[in-house]
Structure 1
Amino acid sequence: MTTKQIVLAARPNGTPILNDFRFEDIELDELQQGEVLLQGMYYSVDPYMRGRMNEGKSYVPPFELNKAIEGGVLATVLESKSDLFKTGDVVLGSLPWSEKMIASDKNLQKIESTVESLTYYLGILGMTGLTAYFGLMHIGKPKAGETVVVSGAAGAVGIVVGQIAKIHGARVIGIAGSDEKASLLKQEFGYDDVINYKTTGNIKNAIANLCPNGVDVYFDNVGGEISDAVIQNLNFHARIALCGQISLYNSTKIPLGPRIQPMLLTRSVLMQGFIISNFQKDFPEGIAQLSKWVNEGKLKFTETIIEGFDQLPAALLGLFKGENKGKMIVKA
């Protein structure tokens, strides 16, 4: 059986371009015992994928040149030689960017949805929601009356972080890249106020004006100059959950920024980086709590769904231009 896949053709120098990807037709192997043949339905597109395009050691292995890129995929079982799955089952796994693929049943999770959309398992009930939940609750530890600032607030993680902080009685300020996103965050997701960093001349002063008592929790998705500005407004005993640094992912050299250690020291600030696999043993707890909030109407979510398997590379590049509202997903 022949299918189409997308491989990493070249390692990017700075911002990726479409020529860094290549489409290939491949022949699938015969199905073996314990394997299933899958048809891809929805493909998750995430900022961390940019780091995997680079060579070098990290918390996950880099993508291999001339091999299929992989990520979170919701797929349908077309044929099964597994005792765990039957034809027609919907499964979730870390799978190649391929229209069809063969996978071991050990690496798949059966999805029996009780929520409005299957795609929630790539977003609010998947890695996105879990990242927001554990980063905020285990590191940020927001308390009622505190001020939480979220950068990349209109992204898939940021939208969830702000709502969880509001559930716990915090005041929430977002930082996003357009007035449209700012309105969405305030009107749909309960943010108290939002700074458009593209039109705000002095972000440090804007944060100071909106956070007169200082910033107690900073959920950092972007790094760079935005984080420099937030850190200068931190309160005593503030907590920073270091989730992402998307403003720096395409840098060819590390930019020199302010020395933040004196601020962290003199204000007794905790800054902790994390990756979602740190909390793997607690995933059932996180999924149960997120599902409860979704079903109670306390957590809402938005997705940018792009049609067409061939659009996967363009969708990934779109993340770095801020083209997504919430979770970026490609529907095959």
Structure 2
Amino acid sequence: MTDATSTTARSTQVQLVRRPQGWPDDADFRTVEVELPPLGDGEVRVANEFMSVDPYMRGRMNEGKSYIPPFALGETMTGGAVGRVVASRSDGLPVGTAVRHDLGWRDVAQGTASRFRPVQEVPGTSLSVHLGVLGMTGLTAFVGLTAIAGIEEGDTVFVSGAAGAVGSTAGQLARLLGAGRVIGSAGGPEKGRLLTERYGYDAAIDYKAGPVAEQLAQAAPDGVDLYFDNVGGDHLEAALGAMNRGGRAALCGAIVGYNAEEPVPGPRNMFRIITQGLTLKGFTLGDWAHLSGEFGEKMATWFAEGRINHDETVVDGIENAVDAFRSMMRGGNVGKMVVRVGG
């Protein structure tokens, strides 16, 4: 029998070869076959089953200083992924172990064992749940509502991008954490029904049907106490106009401007931050990793009790990963968008 640790392997990988201008184009990427060397001491090889595509990746395609380094041109991109160890020279990660890591955008990943974190398999549930509500997606929603915006019992909460990965989780967590009324914004009546029938929202705003500010005023006649922002633009302006005195906003994303070729104008009513005594705080998850333990315990319990609904939009094939990313950026997903790489 051949020892898999002493053999090479091939990996299909997606690389960035040009900085996108506006919406990413096929010519900005290339798919390559990479030969992986035999494993060194302390290394493992993982067959990825699912990889994540997320809005923050668009910022990493640009040049410039940010909270996370940009993707290097000519090199394989990275991102969340889950898979299973298929060859190992690490006692801590034997063959068969399910792991989560950041070596996405490839079908086979290889590296030191420290780059891979074992995950507990949930009976009847795909490993991809560790990219969604049990992973970065769920932690982002939890951190924004608790550590950033300080959710309080009885709060009226407004969430933009509410049918997406973070938004669909944030609405449910807001309810579990004591919100009195939860309002979400999404595009189209079908997504609106999901918000109220599946994700715990009391009211849904269809941003495609009319001005967000007018709809929010109707959905929250007594104002908004907490705003969880995934969108920016007109949604942030609407939230500022509706927020009660002392309101808090967790600024998680601004997807409205990620593919814009010119800067997107800011809200015209920022004076309300002063007159209403509002607090707006942006955050990125890397600063809040210390809350992952608390989040993991609570979310595991809620998930096991059936109190969290979890939806995915699954695209098959590493060769379709770029299309999946673009679709997610256009709102083509319900819940978490993942690419099924293998398994």
TM range (shorter): over 0.9
The answer on whether the counterparts of 2:229 and 2:236 sit within 8 Å (CA) in structure 1 is yes
Separation in 2 of the partners of 1:255 and 1:285?
A: 36
- The answer to whether the 8 Å contact 1:237/1:270 transfers is yes
Task: Quote the residue 1:62 is aligned against.
Answer: 70
Alignment of 1:1-332 (within 5 A): 1-114=9-122, 116-167=125-176, 168-200=178-210, 202-332=211-341
SS at match of 1:63: coil
Q: In the aligned structure 2, how far is the partner of 1:148 from the partner of 1:274?
A: 18
Partner Cα distance (1:169, 1:136) in 2: 10
Answer yes or no: is the 8 Å Cα contact 2:233–2:265 preserved in 1: no
Secondary structure of 1:199 counterpart: coil
- The Cα RMSD (Å) is 1.2
Shift of 1:318: 0.6
Q: TM-score, normalised by structure 2?
A: 0.94
Secondary structure of 1:71's match? coil
Distance, in Å, in 1 between the alignment partners of 2:139 and 2:11 is 32
The 3-state SS of whatever aligns with 1:253 is coil
Q: Could you tell me which amino acid in structure 1 is paired with residue 197 of structure 2?
A: Q
Instruction: Provide the C-alpha distance between the structure 2 equivalents of 1:118 and 1:91, rounded to a whole number of angstroms.
Output: 9
Question: Would the alpha carbon gap of residues 329 and 94 (structure 1) be closer, same or farther in structure 2, given more than 3 Å must change?
Answer: same
CA offsets 1:229-250 (integer angstroms, 9 cap, x no match): 2211111000000000011111
Matches of 1:17 and 1:263, distance apart in 2: 39
Are residues 309 and 258 of structure 1, via their aligned partners in 2, closer, same or farther at CA, if it must alter by over 3 Å?
Answer: closer
Of residues 212-221 and 2-11 in structure 1, the stretch that sits farther from structure 2 once superposed is 2-11
Structure 2 alignment gaps of length 5 or more: 1-8
What TM-score does the superposition give when structure 1 sets the normalisation length? 0.97
C-alpha deviation, 1:259, in angstroms: 4.0
Question: Partners in 2 of 1:169 and 1:253 — Cα distance?
Answer: 37
Q: Deviations over 1:6-31 (max 9, x none)?
A: 10021100111222110111211221
Worse-superposed segment, 11-20 or 124-133: 11-20
Residues 157 and 227 in structure 2, CA contact (< 8 A), matched pair in contact too: yes
% same residue: 40
Question: 1-side partners of 2:291 and 2:174: how far apart?
Answer: 19
Say if 2:83 and 2:127, in contact at 8 Å, map to a contact too.
Answer: no
Equivalent-residue separation in structure 1 for 2:206 and 2:169 (angstroms)? 19
Aligned with 2:128: secondary structure? helix
Residue 260 of structure 1, CA deviation? 4.1
**Structure 1 gaps, min length 5:** none
Please say if residues 72 and 92 of structure 1, whose CA atoms lie closer than 8 Å, have aligned partners that are also in contact: yes
- Decide whether the 8 Å contact of 1:223 with 1:245 is kept in 2: yes
